[in-house]
Amino acid sequence: MLSFIDIEIDKLREQKQAPLTGDEIRTATEAATAMRVRPVAITSLANIVGLIPIMWATGSGADVTQRIAAPALGGMLTVLILSLLVFPVIYSLVLQFQERRKQGAVDVVH
């Protein structure tokens, strides 16, 4: 996800040839995240669907496999939420901070 955001930011920097605003960074982050929603969601949901039968199992050894599958299921749900909602927002804020810092350094030099 973050590499796609970096690619979008680099494209925008090449087009603009000037420091980026916070809105431009947010827009590029949203565009990159939108490109990755389907692949991330499908991968996570396929893993979740594969783990659900293990959680419902009642045969021999089910008690052991459920203890293994439960954290994996929780992890997949967590990764889905983090990679689609949390990481892009935090990364966008970091990029905005870095851009403002670069602008401050340019202003001091001039």
Total domains in the chain come to 1
- Domain that residue 59 falls in: 2-103
Helix (H), strand (E), coil (C) string for 44-60: HHHHHHHHHHHHHCCCC
**pLDDT means over runs of 10, the chain (110 residues):** 94 91 94 95 95 91 92 94 95 94 66
31, part of any domain: yes
Report the pLDDT value the prediction gives residue 18, as an integer from 0 to 100: 87
Q: CA 51, CA 87: separation in Å to the nearest integer?
A: 25
18, part of any domain: yes
108, part of any domain: no
13, part of any domain: yes
pLDDT in tens, 41-59: 999 999 999 999 999 999 8
Indicate the pTM of the whole model.
0.80
Tokens standing for residue 61: 């050894």
Phi-psi domain of 60 (left: phi exceeds 0; alpha: psi -120 through 50; beta: other):
beta
CATH code assigned at 80: 1.20.1640.10
